[in-house]
A and B are shown apart, each in its own frame.
Chain A
Amino acid sequence: MQDEFSYYIKIINAENAIPCKTLRRVTFTGETKYFHQFNKFFAAFGSTIESLTLDILINFARPNGSDLEHDLLDKMPLLSSFDFLINWRVVNRNSDVASTIDIQTFQSVTWQKFNPVVYWNDIDDSSGGICSLPCKFNYVRDLF
C-alpha cells in the first residue's frame, strides 16, 4: 500500500506542503474502487472530521461493524454524525450468497454513539448492504 502512495508522498515532502487539518464534513458518493484505501485517507485527515456521509457502491468487500470501526471510526475522534449507505454486489454468487456479515459487530461501545444500522442480503439480486437509520438515501427508501 505504501508503494502506491510513495510517488505522491515524495512530491508532498519535496514541496513541504501543509496537509489539510480543518476538514469538518466529508461526503463520498457513487461507485468506488478504492474503499479498501479509505483507512489511509481517514488516518491522514480524519482527526478533525465531525460529520461523515457515505453513499457508495463497492465490489469485493462486505465491511462489517468491526471493519468500519477499525478503518474509519477509530480514526475520527470528533465524529458526531455518520450517515451511510454502503451497497455491494456479491461477486461469486455460489460461495458468497449464503454467507452474511455478523451484525453483532455493530453493537460495540463505539457504535453505541451512532444511529442504528440496518443490514440486508438480497439473494435474488446478488447484492447486499448496510445503512444507518433514519435512512437519508432514496435507494433504501425504495427498497423497503
Chain B
Amino acid sequence: MAKEQLLDLPNELLLFIFQYLSAIELITTFSGLQSSRIQALLEPFISCLDISEENDEWIQTYLPDALTQRQIVHLRLKDKQIHFVSRYLSSSNIQSMNVISLGLNSELSEDDRVELRQCLKKLYITVDCRIKKEKLIKELFPKNSNAEYFSSTGCFIYPVNDQVYSFAQLTHLSIGLPTIRDVFMLLHRLPNLQDLRVS
C-alpha cells in the first residue's frame, strides 16, 4: 500500500495499525508528512521513544525535530547518546529517561549534567549486562584510582570531585550504587526525591 492510500484510511484503522509499529518506525515513516490529522493521531504512540539501538545518522536526521516538535515525555537511550540529546532537553517535553549505562560515561560534560539536572523528573539507569563492569573499571582506573568515587552505573549523577549541585526536579530514581555512602551522598543532592530504587 502506498503512503497516499494509507492516509485515506479512517482514524480508527490508522490507530489500529499504529499499534503494531514502534515509535521509531512511526517517526521514520511519517516525519515530514504534512497532515495534521495523522500527526495528531501519532502523538500517543511516540510519547515513549527508545533510541538506544539507533545509529548516529538516524539520531541526527530525526531526533531534533522529534524532541522539539513532538510530545515525547520518556526517552530510553545509551549514556553516550546523552551529549547529543542534552542540547534539546530544555526545549522538549522530556521528563523521564532510562539510561543504559555502558560504563564509559565519565566523559559527560558539565553542560550536559546541568541540562539533566534542570529537566529530569524521573531517571532510571540500567547497566548493559554485556559489559563486565568491574573489569572495565579496573582497566579505566588501574592504580591508585578514584574508582571508589565513580560508579559505572550513572556516574553523571554521582557526586564527583566535590561538585556542588542538586537535581531539584527529580522525583524518581533507579540506580546502581556500590556503597551505602554513595546513596547517602546522593540523597543530599535530590531534595525532592520520592521513589528510590537501588540495586
Name A residues whose Cβ lies closer than 8 Å to a Cβ of B: 4-5, 8, 11-12, 15, 17-30, 33-34, 37-38, 40-41, 44-45
Cβ contact within 8 Å between A22 and B196: no
Give complex CA distance A98, B197 in Å: 35
Cβ contact within 8 Å between A5 and B191: no
Which of B62-70, B90-98, B138-146, B182-190 interfaces with chain A? B182-190
Cβ contact within 8 Å between A23 and B180: no
Q: How far is the CB of B116 from chain A (nearest CB, A)?
A: 18
Q: Looking at chain A's contact residues, is the secondary structure mostly helix, strand, loop, or mixed? A: mixed
Give complex CA distance A26, B166 in Å: 19
Leading 7 A-B pairs by shortest Cβ distance: A34-B180, A17-B188, A37-B180, A27-B197, A20-B187, A25-B195, A18-B191
Give complex CA distance A29, B183 in Å: 13
Give complex CA distance A17, B184 in Å: 12
Give complex CA distance A55, B90 in Å: 37
Given contacts A11-B162, A34-B179, contact A20 B191 (CB under 8 A): yes
Interface centre among A15, A21, A30 (most CB of B within 10 A): A15
Chain B residues, CB < 8 A from A34:
179-180
When the two chains form the complex, which single residue of B180, B189, B193 contacts A38, counting CB atoms closer than 8 Å?
B180
Given contacts A18-B191, A20-B187, A45-B187, contact A5 B181 (CB under 8 A): yes
Cβ contact within 8 Å between A41 and B185: no
Chain A residues, CB < 8 A from B159:
11
Name B residues whose Cβ lies closer than 8 Å to a Cβ of A: 159, 162, 164, 166, 171, 176, 179-181, 183-185, 187-199
Given contacts A25-B196, A26-B196, contact A41 B183 (CB under 8 A): yes
Cβ contact within 8 Å between B184 and A41: yes
When the two chains form the complex, which single residue of B166, B171, B176, B192 contacts A17, counting CB atoms closer than 8 Å?
B166
Cβ contact within 8 Å between B184 and A44: yes
Cβ contact within 8 Å between A20 and B181: no
Q: How far is the CB of B96 from chain A (nearest CB, A)?
A: 16
Name the CB-closest residue of A to B171: A22
Give complex CA distance A55, B127 in Å: 18
Cβ contact within 8 Å between B197 and A29: yes
Chain A residues, CB < 8 A from B180:
34, 37-38, 40-41
Cβ contact within 8 Å between A8 and B185: yes
